[in-house]
């Protein structure tokens, strides 16, 4: 079977109005994390309309659409939940009604990342129409709860749905580049405890808030000294929240706790990051408790799948067959060299490759700086280009790279 890149591009261009319409329909359905049911049903309708071989919704509420029946399992992933709209005053357009002209589409989820799903579904249609099927089964996944707890959906898909793809393409926005990694992250809690007493005689008590003071200074200094990796960049640490308990405004506080957003670069494991904080002199002096948060919010289906808030770093090598597959698809379609880079934010790759070692790679419509911003937008040309890429990737893989896959993929972290 020969890949005719021109035909793929032609067809992708032809479907631009359908891709746009489908994306605007998804945008119009509010779908914050744990409330994705209606958008999932809309995606199901479109997958069935364009001729997917099978469409399933799993007990967590993720949608899995299948193309083909072959031996090599390849997955494309788009999380289809979005964040909220923030302050509506900052939007020039209604975030759900959005806006569209010849070049752009505006609305919540345009770049992050319902656009990826729109391109994926039409890639399915292109594969069917041009007969690009081969010895592969392509699974198009619309995953839930990513904005709340990245990767949880894929923990479920791998461990409970028992889907084990040979590799996964994340369709989060990549600014037209191919992305092969990201820093990991974790959500850490540091807590001090004390003894309350009447605020008129503070010496009778033990103030938990005062104990947090030196800890905050040490954490600020720790951030400055975190290690750097030449590709993924520097680890970081930010105190994001502070809470306390106290019997009254006229009392000494008896507990205080903070939340930390810790980004992990290559060379930093979760255990290492926790130990670093435990080792701080102020933490030791205050006998503060350092722990990781857990996530157990129910999915829209009611399913609860608890996990620790640890999202491991991942980085796939440049010379990996999966990286070559995407580079070759890009060269074939666009007649130029792609840029290979990394995400600043976090994606479902933290579970796919970070936890389970399944090769992961990114190529998606839209731009990272649009994510979570007011007047979020995406570009029609990128939606078309991505549909063409997703249609070409599986066949290039089965024909040239599937037999070059090693048993295990090294996570370069």
Active site members: 81, 146
Closer to Zn ion by CB, 112 or 376: give it.
112
Q: From start to end of 359-403, where are the E strands?
A: 360-362, 377-379
Name the residue nearer to Zn ion (CB basis): 24 or 108: 108
Residue 150 to residues 33, 82, 169, 295, 345, Cα–Cα distance (Å): 11, 12, 15, 11, 11
**Minimum CB distance to Zn ion smaller for 182 or for 246:** 182
Q: Smallest distance from the beta carbon of 375 to Zn ion, in angstroms?
A: 17
Q: Does 46 bind Zn ion (CB under 5 A)?
A: no
Question: Using CB under 5 A, which residues numbered 94 to 123 contact Zn ion?
Answer: 112-113
Interface of this chain with Zn ion, residues 277 to 316, rule: CB under 5 A: none
- On whether the CB atoms of residues 129 and 123 are closer than 8 A, the answer is no
Give phi and psi for 308, each to the nearest 5. -80, 150
Residue 79 or 189 having the CB closest to Zn ion: 79
Instruction: Report d(CA 99, CA 112) in Å as an integer.
Output: 16
Residues 6 or more apart from 147 whose CB is under 8 A from it?
A: 32, 33, 79, 81, 82, 83
Q: Return phi, psi of residue 150, to 5°.
A: -55, 135
Site for Zn ion in 156-185 (CB under 5 A): 172
Q: How many residues interact with Zn ion (rule CB under 5 A)? A: 3
Q: At closest approach, how far in Å is the CB of 245 from Zn ion?
A: 35
CB of residue 201 to Zn ion, shortest distance in Å:
52
Smallest distance from Zn ion to CB 126, Å: 24
Contact 133, 127 (CB under 8 A): yes
Q: Provide the minimum distance between the beta carbon of 63 and Zn ion in the complex, in angstroms, as a whole number.
A: 16
Measured on CA atoms in the order 350, 319, 77, 398, is the torsion positive or negative? negative
Of 189 and 355, nearer to Zn ion (C-beta) is: 355
What is the bridge-based pairing of β-strands 178-182 and 377-379? unpaired
CA 375/CA 381 separation, integer angstroms: 18
Q: Which is nearer to Zn ion, 111 or 207 (CB)?
A: 111
DSSP notation for 237-290: EEEEEEEEE-S-TTB--SEEEEEEEEEE-TT--HHHHHHHHHTSHHHHHTT-EE
Between CA 412 and CA 342 the distance in angstroms is 13
What's CA 278's distance to the chain center, in Å?
Answer: 29
CA 380 from centre of chain: 22
Question: Smallest distance, Å, CB 170 to Zn ion?
Answer: 9
Binding site for Zn ion (CB under 5 A): 112-113, 172
């Amino acid at each position: 079977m020969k890949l005719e890149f021109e035909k793929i591009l032609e067809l992708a261009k032809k479907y631009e109005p359908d891709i746009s319409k489908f994306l605007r329909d998804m945008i119009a359905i509010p779908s914050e994390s744990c409330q994705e049911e209606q958008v999932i049903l809309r995606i199901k309708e479109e997958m069935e309309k364009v001729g997917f071989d099978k469409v399933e919704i799993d007990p967590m509420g993720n949608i899995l659409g299948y193309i083909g029946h072959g031996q090599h399992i390849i997955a494309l992933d788009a999380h289809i939940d979005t964040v909220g709209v923030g302050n509506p005053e900052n939007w020039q357009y209604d975030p759900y009604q959005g806006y569209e002209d010849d070049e752009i589409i505006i609305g919540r989820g345009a770049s992050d990342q319902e656009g990826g799903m729109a391109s994926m579904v039409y890639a399915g249609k292109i594969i069917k129409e041009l007969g690009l099927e081969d010895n592969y089964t392509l699974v198009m996944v619309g995953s839930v709860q990513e904005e709340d707890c990245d990767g949880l959906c894929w923990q479920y898909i791998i461990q409970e749905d028992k889907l084990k793809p040979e590799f996964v393409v994340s369709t989060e926005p990549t600014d037209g580049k191919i992305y092969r990694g990201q820093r990991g992250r974790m959500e850490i809690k540091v807590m001090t405890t004390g003894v309350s007493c009447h605020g008129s005689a503070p010496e009778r008590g033990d103030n938990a808030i005062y104990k947090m003071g030196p800890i905050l200074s040490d954490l600020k200094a720790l951030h400055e000294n975190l290690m750097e990796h030449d590709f993924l960049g520097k680890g970081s640490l930010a105190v994001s929240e502070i809470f306390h308990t106290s019997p009254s405004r006229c009392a000494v506080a008896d507990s205080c706790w903070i939340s930390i957003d810790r980004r992990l670069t290559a060379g930093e494991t979760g255990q290492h990051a926790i130990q670093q904080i435990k080792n701080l002199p102020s933490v030791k002096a205050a006998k503060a408790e350092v722990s990781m948060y857990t996530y157990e919010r129910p999915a829209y289906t009611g399913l609860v799948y608890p996990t620790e808030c640890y999202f491991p770093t991942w980085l796939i090598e440049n010379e990996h067959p999966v990286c070559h597959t995407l580079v070759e698809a890009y060269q074939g379609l666009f007649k130029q060299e792609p840029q290979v880079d990394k995400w600043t934010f976090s994606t479902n790759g933290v579970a796919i490759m970070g936890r389970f070692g399944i090769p992961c790679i990114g190529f998606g419509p839209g731009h990272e700086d649009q994510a979570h911003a007011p007047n979020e937008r995406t570009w029609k040309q990128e939606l078309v280009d991505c549909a063409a890429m997703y249609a070409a990737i599986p066949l290039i893989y089965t024909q040239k790279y599937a037999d070059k896959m090693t048993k295990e993929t090294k996570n370069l972290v």
